[in-house]
Structure 1
């Protein structure tokens, strides 16, 4: 019994040392621009951009093969921050990107069969429910990545504008009133 414990401990120690040496010897340094882009991205790894995660998208943006508008859950604000780092000449794409309100998933409970496919696909665990029971979406946790909408077999999930609450309510931007004498804004 003691011989088995000693041999397993020695084997674990030896393989751990081997892995540590290999990690130092074959370490690949990532460019600082990739780390800067990755810090701006939401970090939910939802895959809505078509890349395996936020770090994969950051690498593609640093290479110039992905546009700064690829992160749909991040929206226009993230795209504007990314445009300052990634100089791809995509300022026109960001300027043409419409300011949209944040969206979240909504489940029609009378169509939900409780198949758990949406529950398993949600990267932020925003869907709650159990097998063969009705599911629901936690609005504050949903990022609107559409991963659950794609896998729902009964089409019970739709995208809706995020409802306003005390936490996310804001004043609407004032609309300019052209031709008025008060600096261009309606009184």
Structure 2
């Protein structure tokens, strides 16, 4: 099979969270590295053990234990920005690989939950520690993966057209792709996605209350960390 075609087939099996935990700048570069024999098939925590087995079956090679030094699989999570502490620095906007964060300089930013992949790449750059990852209450689906791939590719093209600059725009009130910005000032965001890609099932009736409690708890812990940090 031609290498380019093989990379396409490999990429189709990856979850498309674009989390970079594999050591590559996204799912497609990792797929290309596998196709060229430059990377093992067990470096994708979001894909989990089932993802490793799927890649092994495609390539006709023995399966490998998941490399947990790169992270462990778990339920899908999303990012939440604490509006009371966001300073509008835009660093999280620059970090998001799928343009799922909207906002503008010196204004509060918001995560578009439906677009968040749970990569958590926005957490570390935040200078005021106001982003937390919380359970999404749903599964990551094949439609999510397809949309994430498309948005990541559009972002890459935009950055190339902008001369390789960061993801920052003069005004990012609406995410790329015309997805309307949410009305709420704070949105639940991403986190590690499940080990398998399967249609999401309806959440229990009390899921919203549990999720709200999880968000409140995560934000409280983030505030406690800020208070404990020496000035």
TM range (shorter): 0.5 to 0.7
| Structure 2: gaps spanning 5 or more residues | 140-198, 205-231
Identify which of 73, 76, 89 aligns with 1:115: 89
Calculate the TM-score normalised by the size of structure 1. Answer: 0.60
TM-score in terms of structure 2 length: 0.50
Map 1:29-108 onto structure 2 (within 5 A): 30-43=3-16, 45-93=18-66, 100-108=74-82
Structure number with the bigger relative contact order (C-alpha 8 A, sep ≥ 6) is: 2
Q: 2:155 maps to what in 1? A: none
Cα displacement (A) at 1:98:
6.4
CA RMSD of aligned residues (A): 3.2
CA distance in 2, matches of 1:164, 1:82: 24
Partner of 1:169: 201
Equivalence map 1:12-31=2 (5 Å): 30-31=3-4
The structural deviation recorded for 1:60 is 1.8
Deviates more, 1:69-78 or 1:130-139: 69-78
Any conservation in 1 of the 2:90–2:105 contact (CA below 8 Å)?
A: yes
Cα 1:43–1:35 change in 2 (3 A) is same
Q: Distance in 2 between matches of 1:77 and 1:143?
A: 19
Question: Highest CA radius of gyration, 1 or 2?
Answer: 1
Deviation of 1:101 after TM superposition, in Å, equals 0.9
